[in-house]
A and B are shown apart, each in its own frame.
Chain A
């Protein structure tokens, strides 16, 4: 068996997602909502609390404020489309950001 065939049976993972199974083909983002921590780590956290964007954890930002900012972008922040972060994922993410404690490792703003 070639390595190609071996690998084609390894479950393909989405960005930070749990293993989704399926031989040879990756599952799609909208099939399995990713947990908010994963989305934060693989998208938001590269800027927020990392010298680029303002710190948003531990501030009690209301979820209803987070959702439209993610969708429309704000200033230097890109907009994120429903094809990147689904509505269901965004609802969970906004809630998580609102409720999450500040991370002392975050810095910058």
Chain B
């Protein structure tokens, strides 16, 4: 595996270091930053001054050098359509309210992020250039931890690592459920994006309970039971009374969520992870049909991942180790390399949780069903030490890992954008989606790296388009490939559950005019100046 040489690192550092050290860009409005399109420079500078008065000099980033971290993303952006104008980082709800007031006064668009590591979807970058990042990372308090109910109330800046450490330090009998990049991302951010994980608590929004939202006019709304006088059920009962509001603040720009309640899974006495290794690409249909009944009746309680060979290999290998040509990797080559690493063309990970007796009763039923698909059913007895098995063993118990970042460096200098269409959890659907994705990606010269996350009755097909962001030609192809995938999958009713900032509007169109109209009306009512994240999920 070739790494970056020391010389490469020093060269890169030289460029960045010069930027960071340069006095020429140390003043507001310096350099080539994007300003909000309808905000004159002097008004922008005045807004920045007011923001500094609220959060302090050091927590407003309005020059090119200090904004650099907020510009980083893995997605293609050839035309500079996702470049922030700066960032402001409050440490309290009071400061968020004061910032929103300034934003309303100046019509300054704000793009809220919790930690800004939305990996395959644009990181912290906004839907359109010129928006100022509202970075909530400094609001990082764990406000409540109820060890009877297994509930927490946290601020947006709390990472999974932080809560994990809290649980370990206090020996609390709970597990987290993490996305694949848990250590550096936020519970609030991932849950609001309706992300998923891989324990029985894998549907994060389903496990969310109560939120505090700061509306554009500064109103603080506590959803569910949160506004009841003397309430003690804010994190225990989701639905409250009357229309259920939490959903409209997820994948949304109707407010800024400043607190979020979550349920945690009680730590089970026994945990046993499995992998089903399937030899052929077409086995995806049989495996899907084998999983579905067990997800519906909960014999398999966790979020199951069917991982394609290439998605797995790309975590720890680079492309040239497998295939030196520019053409897509032939299936037989991929299959042989996967086999050398103890992997099949599909590798399906699930786990059992409970007591020895419960697991002993369930295991034979599952073994028999998966064996009937032609797959090998394996546990740590055969797979301990295999890096991919260990990775998923960590994920299915809510452990900390960043290994999937490895996918980003598959080609050249690295780059990746995710497309995640949903489908019913049926074999014919996965078979059809795999065939279509492979056809489109190979047409544009990319390798098909798939994972299917199987919920109860649906599945998310997570397609990681890996390209070299260092090449404009490859970035352009990646962009065209992604557009074709969104469009052609959409024609079959397979739409994305979430989207990169570069395709938010395209995907929103597929959900229909009525949906867009209702969202537009809600937006107009709650944020008439459109200062919160315009363009988020296609809502202006």
Knowing A13-B165, A13-B166, A43-B183, the reply to whether A81 touches B135 (Cβ < 8 A) is yes
Q: Whose C-beta in chain A lies nearest to the C-beta of B65?
A: A71
Complex CA distance for A67 and B16, rounded to whole angstroms: 9
In the bound complex, residues from chain A placing their C-beta under 8 Å from that of B10 are 61-62, 65
Q: Report the separation of the CA atoms of residues A18 and B384 in the bound assembly, to the nearest whole angstrom.
A: 34
Whether A72 contacts B316 in the complex (CB less than 8 A), given A28-B141, A52-B405, comes out as no
Residue-by-residue, is B145-165 near A (CB-CB < 8 Å gives 1, otherwise 0)? 111100000000101011001
Cα of A81 to Cα of B184 in the assembled complex, Å: 11
Interchain pairs with CB closer than 8 A, number = 179
Closest to B115 in A: A84
> For residues 405 through 429 of chain B, which have their beta carbon under 8 Å from a beta carbon of chain A?
405-406, 408-409, 413-414
Interface check B509, CB cutoff 8 A? no
Known: A13-B169, A72-B69. A52 touches B16 (CB 8 A): no
Q: B38 an interface residue at 8 Å Cβ cutoff?
A: no
* A101: B residues at CB distance < 8 A: none
A91 within 8 A of B: no
- Quick one: which of A15-30 are within 8 Å of B by CB? 15-16, 24-26, 28-30
Consensus secondary structure, chain A interface: loop
B3 touches A54 (CB 8 A): yes
Task: Give B121-163 as 1s and 0s: 1 = Cβ < 8 Å from A's Cβ atoms.
Answer: 0011000000000010110111111111000000001010110
Contact of B137 with A71 in the complex, beta carbons under 8 Å: no
What mask results when residues 1 to 38 of chain B are scored 1 for a CB within 8 Å of chain A, else 0? Answer: 11110100110111111011000000000000000000
Contact partner of B69 (CB less than 8 A), chosen from A16, A46, A55, A73, is A73
Which of A59-83 touch B at CB < 8 Å? 59, 61-62, 64-69, 71-83
Complex alpha-carbon distance, A73 and B416, angstroms? 14
Given contacts A51-B403, A74-B4, contact A12 B69 (CB under 8 A): no
State which of B91, B148, B408 has its C-beta within 8 Å of the C-beta of A4: B148
Q: Which residue of B is nearest A87, CB measured?
A: B58
Interface centre among A12, A29, A62, A83 (most CB of B within 10 A): A83
Q: Which residue of B lies closest to A38 (CB)?
A: B165
Within 8 A of A (CB), among B434-451: none
Closest to B169 in A: A13
Does B370 count as interface, using CB distance less than 8 angstroms? no
Q: Which of A24, A68, A82 interacts with B19 by CB under 8 Å?
A: A68
- In the complex, what residues of B have CB within 8 A of residue A64's CB? 13, 17
A7 at the interface (CB under 8 A from B): yes
Q: Nearest-CB distance from B33 to chain A (Å)?
A: 15
Q: Is A95 an interface residue (CB 8 A)?
A: no
B402 on the interface (CB 8 Å rule)? yes
- Assuming the contacts A68-B16, A78-B184, A83-B138, asked whether A46 and B402 have C-beta atoms less than 8 A apart, the reply is yes
For the complex, what is the distance from the CA of A59 to the CA of B402, rounded to whole Å? Answer: 23
In the complex, are the beta carbons of A52 and B147 less than 8 A apart?
A: no
A47 in contact with B402 given A13-B166, A68-B13 (CB within 8 Å): yes
**Choice from B15, B69, B147 contacting A79 with Cβ under 8 Å:** B69
The interface residues of chain A lying within 8 Å CB-to-CB of B74 are 76
Q: A46 contacts which chain B residues (CB < 8 A)?
A: 183, 400-403
Residue ID in chain B nearest A47 by CB atoms: B402
Shortest distance from the beta carbon of B163 to any chain A beta carbon, whole Å: 9
Q: Which residue of A lies closest to B68 (CB)?
A: A72
Contacts of B401 in A (CB 8 A): 46
Q: Whole-angstrom distance between the alpha carbons of A109 and B316 in the complex?
A: 10
Q: Is the pair B142, A26 in contact by a Cβ cutoff of 8 Å?
A: yes
Given known A76-B406, A79-B69, contact A29–B140 (CB-CB < 8 A): yes
Q: Which residues of B contact A67 (CB under 8 A)?
A: 13, 17, 20
What 0/1 pattern do residues 1 to 18 of A give for CB contact below 8 A with B? Answer: 011101110101111100
By beta carbon, the residue of chain A nearest B10 is A65
Q: Is the Cβ of A15 less than 8 Å from the Cβ of B165?
A: yes
A7 is contacted by which of B17, B58, B145, B414 (Cβ under 8 Å)?
B145
Verify A109–B2 contact, CB threshold 8 A: yes
Say whether, besides A15-B159, A51-B403, A67-B20, A59 and B140 are in contact (CB < 8 Å). no
Minimum Cβ distance to chain A for residue B109 (Å):
19
B117 at the A/B interface (Cβ < 8 Å)?
A: yes
Instruction: A75 to B115: give the CA distance in the assembly, Å.
Output: 19
User: B68 to A76, Cβ gap below 8 A?
Assistant: no
Contacts of A28 in B (CB 8 A): 91, 138, 140-141
Chain A residue contacts of B169, Cβ below 8 A = 13
Whether the pair A12, B4 counts as a contact (CB closer than 8 A) is: no
- Given the known interface contacts A7-B170, A52-B402, the answer about A65 and B2 at a Cβ–Cβ threshold of 8 Å is no
Instruction: Evaluate contact between A52 and B20: CB separation under 8 angstroms.
Output: no
Give Cα A76–Cα B470 distance, bound, in whole angstroms: 11
Task: Please give, as numbers and ranges, the residues of chain A lying within 8 Å of B165 by CB-CB distance.
Answer: 13-16, 42
Q: Is B89 an interface residue (CB 8 A)?
A: yes
**A109 x B183 contact (CB < 8 A):** no
B19 touches A7 (CB 8 A): no
Question: How far does the Cβ of B57 sit from chain A's closest Cβ, in whole Å?
Answer: 12
Closest-by-CB residue of A relative to B16 is: A68
Q: How far is A14 from B139 in the complex, measured between Cα atoms in Å?
A: 12
A30 to B, closest residue via Cβ: B138
Nearest B residue to A12, CB-CB: B142
Complex interface: chain A residues within 8 A of B409 (CB): 75-76
Interface residue A50 (Cβ < 8 Å from any Cβ of B) = yes
- Report the minimum CB–CB distance from B478 to chain A (whole Å): 15
The 6 lowest CB-CB distance pairs between A and B, nearest first, are A68-B16, A54-B3, A65-B13, A109-B3, A76-B408, A79-B72
A-B contact pairs, 17 of them (CB 8 A): A12-B166, A15-B161, A15-B162, A26-B141, A42-B183, A46-B400, A47-B402, A52-B402, A53-B405, A54-B4, A61-B9, A62-B10, A62-B13, A64-B17, A71-B16, A74-B4, A76-B408
Given contact pairs A14-B140, A29-B140, A43-B183, enumerate 13 new A-B contacts (beta carbons under 8 Å). A10-B170, A42-B183, A47-B403, A53-B405, A54-B3, A61-B9, A64-B13, A65-B14, A75-B414, A76-B406, A78-B123, A80-B69, A80-B184
